[in-house]
């Protein structure tokens, strides 16, 4: 186990991570394990989830793997029950599970729009409904991490369902933060704003049909992730470092935000019409 300040904060604590079998979620699981945390890993992908759980367990980490459909409140409630049965309490909830869709807004199938909203927003709400009451009843310090994206600050063409859900995550997280402040609860809330992280999320999002613009945009984002993105474990390391420092806005790659947030605020303040500033 590492002897960093975040290890001192999180060693022995119980973390529930949704979307844990791959990508950013897997990075959270691996780094949390290195900090000495006990893990409840949730994902709809049973094969990947159990493989990761077995690997971490073999290194001495206490892991409970629960196949979970975050879009189902019954499935998420069962996850919470299993977590408490195994470890007695939950100290950290990481809402991370999500999917991607690309294409013209009006051509993305209704069922894909529905899935994005049910998983990327509804899944977070289901987890909050299941875990926040339990964490409040514990009366102990805790953490809730909600994974949004720089896409929650900067809307994008050809991936409007993703932009919608990541903007929604910002609103959901800030509302939750205010509510827990009102209750004087010992639970800190953070919104996580990743940029490019090495993963297969764009590979799995190739559902734009034959639309060449969507395919080219998707390929460009995947190439950017592969060439400029940080690893999922490095992303997790930066996130936990900032969470341990008490940060609400967790920005693992701040340069991705700093260069655009002021011009965007000026655009809004000046009531200027948004303009496309990159080629697709």
Positions annotated as catalytic residues are 162
8 CB-near residues (< 8 Å, 6+ apart): none
8 A C-beta contact, residue 176 and residue 188? no
Backbone angles phi, psi at 251, to 5 degrees: -120, 90
The arrangement of strands across the sheet holding 14-18 comes to 63-67, 38-43, 14-18, 92-95, 142-147, 187-192, 249-250
* Residue partners of 131: CB distance under 8 A and separation at least 6: 16, 80, 90, 93, 144
Residue at token pair 């999917």: 99
β pairing state of 38-43 and 14-18: parallel
- Return the SS3 of 245: coil
């Amino acid at each position: 186990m590492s002897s960093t300040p975040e290890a001192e904060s999180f060693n022995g604590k119980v973390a529930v991570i949704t979307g844990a079998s791959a990508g950013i979620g897997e990075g959270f699981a691996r780094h949390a394990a290195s900090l000495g945390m006990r893990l409840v890993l949730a994902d709809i992908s049973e094969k990947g989830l159990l493989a990761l759980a077995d690997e971490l367990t073999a290194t001495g980490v206490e892991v409970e793997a629960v196949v979970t459909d975050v879009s189902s409140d019954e499935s998420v409630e069962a996850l919470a029950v299993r977590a408490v049965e195994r470890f007695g309490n939950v100290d950290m909830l990481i809402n991370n599970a999500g999917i991607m869709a690309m294409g013209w807004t009006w051509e993305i199938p209704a069922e894909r729009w529905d899935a994005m909203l049910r998983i990327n927003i509804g899944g977070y709400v289901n987890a909050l409904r299941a875990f926040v009451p339990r964490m409040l009843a514990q009366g102990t310090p805790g953490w809730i991490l909600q994974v949004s994206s720089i896409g929650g600050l900067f809307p994008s063409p050809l991936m409007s369902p993703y932009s919608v859900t990541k903007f929604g995550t910002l609103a959901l997280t800030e509302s939750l933060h205010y509510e827990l402040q009102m209750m004087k609860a010992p639970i800190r809330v953070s919104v996580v704003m990743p940029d490019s992280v090495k993963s297969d999320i764009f590979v799995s999002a190739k559902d734009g049909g034959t639309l060449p613009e969507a395919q080219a945009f998707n390929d460009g984002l995947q190439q950017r992730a592969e060439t400029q993105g940080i690893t999922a474990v490095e992303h997790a390391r930066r996130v936990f470092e900032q969470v341990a420092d008490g940060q609400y806005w967790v920005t693992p790659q701040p340069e991705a935000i700093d260069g655009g947030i002021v011009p965007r605020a000026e655009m809004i303040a000046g009531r200027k019409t948004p303009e496309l500033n990159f080629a697709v």
